Amino acid sequence: QVHLVESGGGWVQAGGSLRLSCAASGRTISTYTVGWFRQVPGKEREFCAAISWNDSITFYGDSVKGRFTITRDNAKNTVYLQMNSLKPEDTAVYYCAARFRDYPKWDYWGQGTQVTVSS
């Protein structure tokens, strides 16, 4: 079992930055691909970014590409999402998720952290 806890959410003005953290416990995340998703009430969950388990290749959703950066620190068992040039439409609950190596299913999810961007 992998337990994920997000932190770092909050309120920020448009154009500002936030860094989200996803701290894992239970198992080392070095063998897990980790992703960030977000969801607004009434809308489908949206993929933001992911970082692979073995070579830290990164993937980004079109809406955040060029503004968000995902990194991992396996020594700290933590994955980060640096969010720059934030827009009001980035307002959402952000979730981190983990899947073992390249398995297709995201098996583990955190509880989410709220990000609010004001115009």
- The token pair at 86 is 């934030």
**Which residues contact residue 56 at a Cβ distance below 8 angstroms, ignoring those fewer than 6 apart?**
71, 72
For the stretch 4-41, pLDDT in tens is 999 999 999 999 999 999 999 999 999 999 999 999 99
Q: 50: helix, coil or strand?
A: strand
pLDDT, residue 80, reads 98
**CB burial of residue 37 (10 Å; 0-12, 13-18, 19+):** buried
**Which residues contact residue 107 at a Cβ distance below 8 angstroms, ignoring those fewer than 6 apart?**
2, 98, 99, 100
